[in-house]
């Protein structure tokens, strides 16, 4: 089975199914989300993760959370949608696709309600169908977006290259194909024979559990390394390019991604290696001026010293600092790859031009 066939979120026969990525690589288990609490918990606890996949989950999740509303009171239904959207948005503050998808769902509903006031009255049941259709659009558009990013990314790479990646921005982090891994999959289909090095990505090990798993499963040459080995593989001359995803990009080109990304970018600059950040336009937040304005999610310290071990790997009660993301300064980013094309500096000018197209 191709890894392309493994979707992080599925919706069929009225059921929203989520691939529980906390169980990978040991087990491929899908869980059903029936309530807003189920969706919130799945996003917060990283059962579904990756900015685009979170956006897809948000769309379907908002729909399944309000579809049980009974009665024909549109004002009451709209109030429920707003409250539910706010609740789901609290699950992970850094990934902008979450708020983007929820906001998109609300805007489509508001536009339909406004249009209904001028012509045919919109019923609550029609509003529910409209929301489901919009969730489907979010998923399909993300799949198309990832394919396009793959093509643009591949134009920057050459056959036989050694490529380093951090965290997981593959097909299980998106609707399909992935963001920064999309050119690797397309390259495999075209005989590029890339050699991929995957950082383990402490403390939640997305690179080890997810990236190495999906690339290995797809028959791609992948080597798993510890995070602190990135420098030596670069020094050895094994890395020709770095590709990473992004959870939120500020207007000036600063990009928030999984913790450790900024360190990889600084190393790449030192060794003269191009550093490419793959960013769907939905992840570009022009309302956030710089990376300093991006909220960084802090998680429990147990993830550092307890989560993966039979015994604690640090003294019980020791102070911890566990940010889930860091921000890569735009000066370290060689190019930003979007579904609309490759963006180069100055990012504060060119990202805005791209969004205005």
Q: Compute the average pLDDT of residues 83-111.
A: 94
CATH (one of 3.20.20.10, 3.20.20.100, 3.40.50.620, 1.20.120.420) for 3-146 = 1.20.120.420
Q: Which tokens sit at 322? A: 């566990």
Residue partners of 343: CB distance under 8 A and separation at least 6: 335, 336, 337, 350, 351, 354
Check pLDDT > 80 for residue 119: no
How many residues comprise the chain? 357
Q: What is the pLDDT of residue 1?
A: 46
CATH of domain 148-356: 3.40.50.10470
The whole-chain average pLDDT of the chain stands at 95
**How far apart are alpha carbons 80 and 124 in whole angstroms?**
12
Residue partners of 80: CB distance under 8 A and separation at least 6: 66, 69
Active site residues: 247
Check pLDDT > 90 for residue 118: no
DSSP summary character for residue 331? G
**Residue whose token pair is 């500096």:** 345
b/e for 50-72, b at 16 or more Cβ within 10 A? bbbbbbbbbbbbbbbbbeebeee
pLDDT digits (tens, 9 = 90+) for 3-13: 556 899 999 99
What's the predicted TM-score (pTM) here? 0.89
Q: Give me the residue spans of the domains in the chain.
A: 3-146, 148-356
DSSP E strand stretches across the chain: 9-12, 15-19, 30-33, 162-165, 195-199, 221-225, 241-244, 248-250, 255-258, 275-278, 284-285, 325-328, 335-338, 341-343
State the burial class of residue 131 (Cβ atoms within 10 Å of its Cβ: 0-12, 13-18, 19+): buried
pLDDT digits (tens, 9 = 90+) for 64-86: 999 999 988 999 999 999 999 99
């Amino acid at each position: 089975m191709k890894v392309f066939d493994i979707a992080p979120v599925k919706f069929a026969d009225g059921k929203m199914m989520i691939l529980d990525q906390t169980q990978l690589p040991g087990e491929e288990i899908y869980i059903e989300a029936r309530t807003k609490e189920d969706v919130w918990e799945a996003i917060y606890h990283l059962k579904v993760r990756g900015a685009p996949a979170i956006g897809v989950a948000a769309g379907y999740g908002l729909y399944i959370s309000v579809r049980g509303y009974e009665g024909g009171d549109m004002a009451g239904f709209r109030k429920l949608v707003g409250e539910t959207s706010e609740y789901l948005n609290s699950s992970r503050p850094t990934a902008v696709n979450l708020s983007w998808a929820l906001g998109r769902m609300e805007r489509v509903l508001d536009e339909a309600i406004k249009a209904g006031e001028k012509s045919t009255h919109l019923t609550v049941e029609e509003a529910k169908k409209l929301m489901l259709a919009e969730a489907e659009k979010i998923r399909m558009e993300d799949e198309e977006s990832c394919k396009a990013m793959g093509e643009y990314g591949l134009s920057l790479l050459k056959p036989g290259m050694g490529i380093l990646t951090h965290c997981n921005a593959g097909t299980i982090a998106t609707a399909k194909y992935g963001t920064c891994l999309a050119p690797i999959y397309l390259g495999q289909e075209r005989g590029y024979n890339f050699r991929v090095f995957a950082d383990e990505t402490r403390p939640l090990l997305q690179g080890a559990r997810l990236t190495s798993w999906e690339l290995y499963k797809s028959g791609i040459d992948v080597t798993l390394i510890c995070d602190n080995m990135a420098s030596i593989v670069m020094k050895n001359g094994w890395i020709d390019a770095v590709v990473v995803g992004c959870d939120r990009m500020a207007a000036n080109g600063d990009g928030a991604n999984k913790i450790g990304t900024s360190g990889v970018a600084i190393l790449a600059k030192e060794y003269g290696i191009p550093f490419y950040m793959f960013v769907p336009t939905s992840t570009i937040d022009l309302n956030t001026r710089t990376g300093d304005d991006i909220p960084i999610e802090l998680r429990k310290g147990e993830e550092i010293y307890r989560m993966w071990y039979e015994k604690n790997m640090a003294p019980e009660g020791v102070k911890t600092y566990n940010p889930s993301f860091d921000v890569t300064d735009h000066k370290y980013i060689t190019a930003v790859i979007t579904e609309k094309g490759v963006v180069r500096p100055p990012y504060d000018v060119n990202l805005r031009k791209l969004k205005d197209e």
